[in-house]
Amino acid sequence: MILMSLYDLVTGKYFGPCTFCDARCCKEYTITITAHDFSNIVKNLKLKRSDLDKYFELLKASLLNSDEATIILIKDDAESIHECLLTLKSHPCIFLKNNKCGIHKFAPLVCKLYPFRYNGQMLSSARCVLISKVGYFLENKSNKKNIMKIADQFSYNLYEYRKLIRQWNTSPGSKEQFFDYLYSLTNE
């Protein structure tokens, strides 16, 4: 009989920190993504341009956003400009199935990094159940290099995304034109 320690149980030797999760992060957060995340999802699911509205949306940025460089300017039919954020369809996440991520292997980096910040510290507002927080804390101690690798990759993708958005915002168009623009970049 194999006896597992609590450490082995919650850090992934037998299960992972998310094993006991009820997917609060996937149900409660609006999941903002980058062009890199968009491209990974489109390529891995082999989505057609006509499929995009099913999985992605541009939400009006009617929230306090500390990263102005991720605000996408979109024109409506009346030529008014709206500030938007690129997101997965959320509440719950469109890819959440039975409290598990249906695209885990190519999930957005913000999801892979959660519940950590760019610096590897756990978010104080993490919605994880207590046993998962303990698991993440213990895993972070032994796996900080991997978490920092994801954080570095996320920071780089965010930097590239900001450049792309800056370019788009010099001559904004409609929501459909923005998705055409992103979709065309996916196929480069």
Instruction: Name the band, by pLDDT with cuts 50, 70 and 90, for residue 96.
Output: very high
Q: Is the dihedral of CA 55, 59, 63, 65 positive or negative?
A: positive
- According to DSSP, the β-strands at 81-88 and 56-60 are antiparallel
Provide the pLDDT for residue 7: 53
Q: Lowest mean pLDDT: which of 67-71, 79-83, 130-134?
A: 130-134
Give a yes or no: residue 23 inside a domain: yes
The whole-angstrom distance between residue 129's C-alpha and the CA centroid of its chain comes to: 20
Is 54 part of a structural domain of the chain? yes
The pLDDT value given to residue 52: 95
In this prediction, residue 15 has a pLDDT band, given cuts at 50, 70 and 90, of: low
User: Average pLDDT in the 12-35 region?
Assistant: 75
Give domain status of residue 3, yes or no.
Answer: no
Q: How far apart are the first and last CA of the chain?
A: 53
Range of the domain at 45: 8-186
Does the residue 91 lie in any domain?
A: yes
- Domain presence at residue 2: no
Q: With 70 as the cut, is the pLDDT of residue 27 above it?
A: yes
